[in-house]
C-alpha cells in the first residue's frame, strides 16, 4: 500500500498501477494531482489544531435529559 502525501489516504499499489519494487519516495494520488491547490501548497489532511481530523467532526450530538 502507498499513502498520498496530499490527502493522506492509503491506496493499493496494484490499484494505482505501481509495483512494490518501484515505489516513489513521494506520491500524490490522481485525485489530488488533478485538484487545484491553494498557493501551490500541498493540502494537509489535518484539522485546525494540527492533529488529524476527528472521525466525529461531522456528527451532530443529541443530549438526553436525565429522567430522575
pLDDT averages per 10-residue partition of the chain, 68 residues: 91 91 90 72 52 56 58
Its pTM stands at 0.50
* pLDDT score of 2: 92
Q: Calculate ∠ Cα 38-3-50, nearest 5°.
A: 55
* pLDDT score of 17: 92
The C-alpha R_g of the chain, in whole angstroms, comes to: 18
Total residue count of the chain as it appears in this document? 68
Q: Provide the CATH number for the domain formed by 2-38 in this structure.
A: 3.30.40.10
* pLDDT score of 18: 92
* pLDDT score of 36: 76
Query: What is the dihedral angle through the alpha carbons of 5, 11, 16, 19, rounded to the nearest 10 degrees?
Result: 90
* pLDDT score of 20: 85
- For the chain, what are the domain ranges? 2-38
Q: Calculate ∠ Cα 28-30-35, nearest 5°.
A: 90
Q: Calculate ∠ Cα 25-43-3, nearest 5°.
A: 35
Amino acid at each position: 500500500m502507498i499513502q498520498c502525501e496530499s490527502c493522506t489516504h492509503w491506496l493499493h499499489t496494484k490499484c494505482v498501477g505501481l509495483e512494490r519494487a518501484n515505489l516513489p519516495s513521494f506520491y500524490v494520488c490522481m485525485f489530488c494531482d488533478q485538484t487545484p491547490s491553494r498557493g501551490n501548497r500541498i493540502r494537509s489532511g489535518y484539522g485546525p489544531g494540527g492533529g488529524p481530523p476527528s472521525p466525529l467532526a461531522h456528527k451532530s450530538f443529541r443530549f438526553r435529559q436525565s429522567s430522575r
